[in-house]
Amino acid sequence: VTEEHDLDSYSYEKGNSKPAKIAAKRGMLQLIDEEQCFSKDVSKYMKEQWHLFDAGFDYNLVAVFGSQSTGKSTLLNRLFQTSFKEMNESKRQQTTKGIWCDRGGEMPVLVFDVEGTDGRERGEDQDFERKSALFSLAIAEVVIVNMWENMVGLYNGANMGLLKTVFEVNLMLFGRNRGAKTLLYFVIRDHVSRTPLEVLGQTVTKDLHKIWSELNKPDELKDEQLDDYFDIQFTSLPHLLLQPERFDTEVRRLRLDFSDPSHDTYVFKDKYSRQVPADGFQHYAEGVWEKVVSNKDLDLPTQQELLAQYRCDEISAAALIPFRENVQGLSISIGGGNVVRDMGKKFEEIRTQTVSRFDEQASRYNKTVYEKKRQQLLATVHGELQTVFVGQTKNAISRAVTSFEETSAKRLEMNERGAAGGKGYSGEFCSVIKGEKTKAVEYVKSVVEAMMLKDAEWTYSNDIELLNKKLDFATARLRMIEMERIVNRAQKNAMVNYGPQVSEILADARADMWEQILMGLVDSTRNGELDLEIDVSGMDKLGLEYSTKVDGDAASANTDAAAVELQKLKRRLRQLCWEGLVKHLNEELGEQMLHMKLRNRFEDKFKYDAKGIPKVWSARDDIDGCFATAKAEALSLLPLYSSIDIGCLSTNFALKNTLGKQDYFYVAEETATGVDEALYEERLPVFQLRRFNLESSLVLLNSIQQRGVSKKFSRDADTMFLEAKRAVVMTKTQ
């Protein structure tokens, strides 16, 4: 036997083709097929065919049951303008089973029609009949029970027999946990007798109670009443064939029961609601059917909770998709160290958007589950926004530190330039640092606080701590630069007088020339040291705290850190003064200069007499002897000038105690001990502590250079000698 689902095979009364058109527009779905499989297309139909997916709770469910061929499908089609298959006399033998579903016309109602053999009458398997009845009771708010008038009072009639089974299994499966009541809406068909409806109703009610009392109830449920589970309502219809017009009129009256909430006998009362939002219907109904098929305990509240969990997860996941796109956008916006000022507002917007997307659908589900899932969603949202929060905080810290360092350096340099004309150090270091530090911290705080999301429970005290460490670290570096500046200034001051003094000593070129020069160095350096002491002690100790923090030596010595520091600065100064001297000597004693010095000395001796009067050579004069003496004297200057003679260090007590001491000079300070490297991206420059090598600075002119100077000088001297000789010859010949 083939099933004919195409519309042509449906039989409609003449002039009643409207339902067919609506059905063509929408579509009827076989919810459960012959194999008892649940359709995968319910949500699709809810969306595309029935347009109920977004209805929330604003839709109703109605199912029908009753014996085969009692006009159930016919009634549903008339009542709801659905397009369920109606059977002709000729097709009575059809044996398909299944549950069909369609939307009732313009009403927000899902209608379920059950098809199947009447197992009871034919003595066949009652399994499907029982299952579909259970399913209907579980999901439908209203179950239409269809029966002929002539079946009323037939206690053992097919309908009542089915009801008995259903009540029994219903009790066993659902027990007390069946949730909302169900309305049994009895429609007595072919009501042709004069017996009033009330009387028929009373008969049916009496039978129902009798059935109920005879049910095989589990012990714990033996006192349960029919009324605890079901409400009962009655109506009847005239004979379709005998009174077709009255039938139509009555059906229209019945329709009000399902479509007009103001109607007295309106059936979809809140108390019957299954509380299943339309978008969760597929999942819920499928779950119920699974339990019914597998004959497992069906606990509807639990089923609803499971549904809530499933749907809330789905809705949450859907809400997180646009959310993550937004977070991605925010992450990009803070790339390259950017700081976005209205980030907090953006966080708030995105969160509100995401949560309301969730609330819109999820709030219809089980309240406890919904609230729990909402918390979870919020936690996810907060967590993912926090990565942006952390990123921007990091950016703000970098910016603050960079700007702190740049601005402080600029201000300190300006102070220095201002102080250069006047006396002493400006002493502004600490106030500059404090001011800039406050600005940096306030900047970061303002950025972070503007980002704070209410209830997100983000903290940033660690960030401020990190910021402070970075600022201290930068301060230590600035301080080193500042110290270097002070020492350089002291050195320059010292050189102002010492430089000319050295030039004079060099010009004299006495035998103790180097002793004089070195004594002068020690004296000038000591003056510089006094300057330094005044600069450092008179000021605010140059933020010594930053020194002890990063300078292991000062910190570990635990003595007077300031004294230790001053000692180091002095060594640095001495070093600079020494370097200043060497530089000066190199300028004064270059090859050119030295050549001049030798030449001058030679000329002094050779061309002038002891009184400084130019010599006029005569034949009697010992030109050769004078020349040899003068040249030897001039050349003796060469080794004297070519290197610094520190022989005096061993004989001169004052020099021995200063320049001769091992720790008089140092190239640079040692630093960067005790710094938590992981904390800083960069390290302080590390100065190697090494003793200054005096020896290496001693040579001013090497032997090759000396030979060059000597050769060039000798040529000049020889020329002067020849000139002298020629002068004598000329006077002779005159």
Write out the residues near ligand GDP by the rule CB under 6 A.
68-74, 86-89, 189-190, 239-241
- Indicate which of ligand GDP, Mg ion, none lies near residue 610 (CB less than 5 to 8 Å, by partner kind): none
Which of 187, 369 has the CB closer to Mg ion? 187
Burial of 672 (0-12, 13-18, 19+ CB in 10 A): middle
Which of 73, 282 has the CB closer to ligand GDP? 73
Q: Are residues 390 and 329 in contact, defined by beta-carbon separation less than 8 angstroms?
A: no
Cα–Cα distance measured from residue 324 to residue 643, given in angstroms and rounded to the nearest whole number: 75
Which of 96, 501 has the CB closer to ligand GDP? 96
Which of 70, 165 has the CB closer to ligand GDP? 70
Cα–Cα distance measured from residue 636 to residue 602, given in angstroms and rounded to the nearest whole number: 11
The two beta strands, 142-148 and 230-236, are unpaired
Which of 190, 257 has the CB closer to ligand GDP? 190
- Indicate which of ligand GDP, Mg ion, none lies near residue 528 (CB less than 5 to 8 Å, by partner kind): none
Q: How far is the CB of 455 from ligand GDP (least distance, A)?
A: 57
- Indicate which of Mg ion, ligand GDP, none lies near residue 74 (CB less than 5 to 8 Å, by partner kind): ligand GDP
Backbone φ, ψ for residue 28 (5° rounding): -105, 145
Which of 87, 727 has the CB closer to ligand GDP? 87
Q: Check the CA dihedral 86-87-88-94 and report its sign.
A: positive
Selection from 585, 581, 568 nearest residue 665 by Cα: 568
Residues in 649-668 at the binding interface with Mg ion, rule: CB under 5 A: none
Q: Would you mind telling me the total number of residues written for the chain in this entry?
A: 734
Selected range binding Mg ion among 64-72, 268-276, 301-309, 561-569, rule: CB under 5 A: 64-72
- Indicate which of Mg ion, ligand GDP, none lies near residue 239 (CB less than 5 to 8 Å, by partner kind): ligand GDP
Q: Are residues 365 and 306 in contact, defined by beta-carbon separation less than 8 angstroms?
A: no
Q: Which residue is associated with the tokens 């640092």?
A: 433
Which of 240, 598 has the CB closer to ligand GDP? 240
The two beta strands, 109-115 and 142-148, are unpaired
Q: Are residues 641 and 701 in contact, defined by beta-carbon separation less than 8 angstroms?
A: yes
Which of 73, 82 has the CB closer to Mg ion? 73
- Stretch (H or E) spanning 329: helix 300-333
Strand-pairing partners, residue 183, are 142, 231
Selected range binding Mg ion among 67-75, 227-235, 262-270, 376-384, rule: CB under 5 A: 67-75
Identity of residue 493? N
Cα–Cα distance measured from residue 109 to residue 255, given in angstroms and rounded to the nearest whole number: 12
Identity of residue 349? E
Selected range binding Mg ion among 39-47, 68-76, 260-268, 383-391, rule: CB under 5 A: 68-76
Q: How far is the CB of 205 from ligand GDP (least distance, A)?
A: 22
Q: How far is the CB of 228 from Mg ion (least distance, A)?
A: 31
Beta-strand ranges (E) seen in 5-124 are: 29-32, 60-66, 98-103, 109-115
- Indicate which of ligand GDP, Mg ion, none lies near residue 165 (CB less than 5 to 8 Å, by partner kind): none
Q: How far is the CB of 39 from ligand GDP (least distance, A)?
A: 20
Which of 73, 575 has the CB closer to Mg ion? 73
Q: How far is the CB of 238 from Mg ion (least distance, A)?
A: 20
Q: Are residues 571 and 579 in contact, defined by beta-carbon separation less than 8 angstroms?
A: no
Q: How far is the CB of 256 from ligand GDP (least distance, A)?
A: 19
Q: Are residues 503 and 588 in contact, defined by beta-carbon separation less than 8 angstroms?
A: yes
Q: How far is the CB of 383 from ligand GDP (least distance, A)?
A: 56
Q: How far is CA 362 from CA 316, 318, 372, 456, 500, in A?
A: 8, 11, 11, 21, 91
Q: How far is the CB of 30 from Mg ion (least distance, A)?
A: 13
Residue whose Cβ sits closest to ligand GDP: 71
Burial of 128 (0-12, 13-18, 19+ CB in 10 A): buried
Cα–Cα distance measured from residue 36 to residue 446, given in angstroms and rounded to the nearest whole number: 65
- Indicate which of Mg ion, ligand GDP, none lies near residue 241 (CB less than 5 to 8 Å, by partner kind): ligand GDP
Which of 116, 528 has the CB closer to ligand GDP? 116
Strand-pairing partners, residue 100, are 30, 113
Q: Is there binding between residue 475 and Mg ion (CB under 5 A)?
A: no
Selection from 490, 482, 498 nearest residue 529 by Cα: 490
Which of 59, 148 has the CB closer to ligand GDP? 148
Residue whose Cβ sits closest to Mg ion: 73
- Indicate which of Mg ion, ligand GDP, none lies near residue 170 (CB less than 5 to 8 Å, by partner kind): none
Identity of residue 332? I
- Contacts with Mg ion, 533-552, as mask; x by CB under 5 A: --------------------
Q: How far is the CB of 160 from ligand GDP (least distance, A)?
A: 17
Of the candidate residues 60, 67, 73, 77, the single one contacting Mg ion (CB under 5 A): 73
Selection from 288, 272, 296 nearest residue 173 by Cα: 296
- Indicate which of ligand GDP, Mg ion, none lies near residue 354 (CB less than 5 to 8 Å, by partner kind): none
Q: Which two tokens stand for residue 513?
A: 């020339």
Strand-pairing partners, residue 184, are 143, 232
Helices (H), 366-458: 367-421, 429-451
Which of 73, 671 has the CB closer to Mg ion? 73
Strand-by-strand arrangement of the 98-103 sheet:
29-32, 98-103, 109-115, 60-66, 142-148, 182-189, 230-236
What DSSP character marks residue 590?
Answer: S
Q: How far is the CB of 78 from ligand GDP (least distance, A)?
A: 9
Q: How far is the CB of 11 from ligand GDP (least distance, A)?
A: 7
- Indicate which of ligand GDP, Mg ion, none lies near residue 69 (CB less than 5 to 8 Å, by partner kind): ligand GDP
Q: How far is the CB of 382 from Mg ion (least distance, A)?
A: 55
Which of 13, 533 has the CB closer to ligand GDP? 13
Give how many residues touch Mg ion by CB under 5 A. 2
Q: How far is the CB of 70 from ligand GDP (least distance, A)?
A: 5
- Indicate which of ligand GDP, Mg ion, none lies near residue 240 (CB less than 5 to 8 Å, by partner kind): ligand GDP
Which residues of this protein are in contact with Mg ion, per CB under 5 A? 72-73
